[in-house]
Amino acid sequence: MKKYILTIAFVLFFVIGMVLSYTIFKPAPKQMVTSQSILTALTSEGFLVSQNYVFQQTVTIEKSTGSALKDVFFGQTIEATALMKVSAGVALSKLQEQDIRVTGTEIHIALPPVETQSIEILGNITLDNSQGIVKRLVDNDDGYNVALSELKQQAKSAAETPELQQEALVQAQKQIQTFLQFVDPEKKVLFK
């Protein structure tokens, strides 16, 4: 009889230990990844700069009156050179709920188009300003602001070529894919 009681106590102790260990160490429920959770994670990033380009830009600005004689007195020629940095990428804050679709094994994302975020000068502008005699006395404009504006416009145009836009898009896709692999490593990320 003692043997049976000891065996029943051992089995009961074993079963209680199994139940307690499962209760304490049970696996955590897997988080469900939805299009809304991905949208929230991506839009919180704001603007994703995926490429930076550096261009050596040179501009010549002629402010002519149309007459060679008047240009001696009132004309102006500005030549400017500078290193310009253009940052391009994708505005993730523009993503909408319909741009993201989650299926069993895939995440489909339609990204907004690549756009230029900023244009900056690296270093100084080298400026050569030739002004007519009267212009120099009456309206002495060094031409810095006009040159800066033109340099920025040319740098933006240089960065908006289809090849560079495609490169910025591919880099943005790679960065988003890496980010989403941390969110759910089992899903494949596809871009539309």
pLDDT of the residue at 74: 61
Q: Which residues pair with 53 in a beta bridge?
A: 86
Whole-angstrom Cα Rg for the chain: 33
Tell me: the pLDDT tens digits for 153-175? Answer: 999 999 999 999 999 999 999 99
Q: Which residues contact 152 (CB under 8 A, 6 or more apart)?
A: 84, 119
Top mean pLDDT of 6-10, 43-47, 82-86, 120-124 is at: 82-86
Kindly list the distances between the CA atom of residue 38 and the CA atoms of 45, 55, 90, 115, 183, in Å, as whole numbers in the listed order.
11, 35, 16, 22, 8
pLDDT of the residue at 186: 85
How far is CA 162 from its chain centroid?
A: 17
d(C-alpha 64, C-alpha 60), whole Å: 12
3-state secondary structure of 148: helix
Q: Please determine, for residue 103, whether its predicted confidence score (pLDDT) is greater than 90.
A: no
Return left, alpha or beta for 109; rule: phi > 0 is left, psi -120 to 50 is alpha, else beta: beta
Tell me: the pLDDT tens digits for 40-84? Answer: 888 888 899 999 999 999 888 777 666 655 555 666 677 899 999
pLDDT of the residue at 23: 80
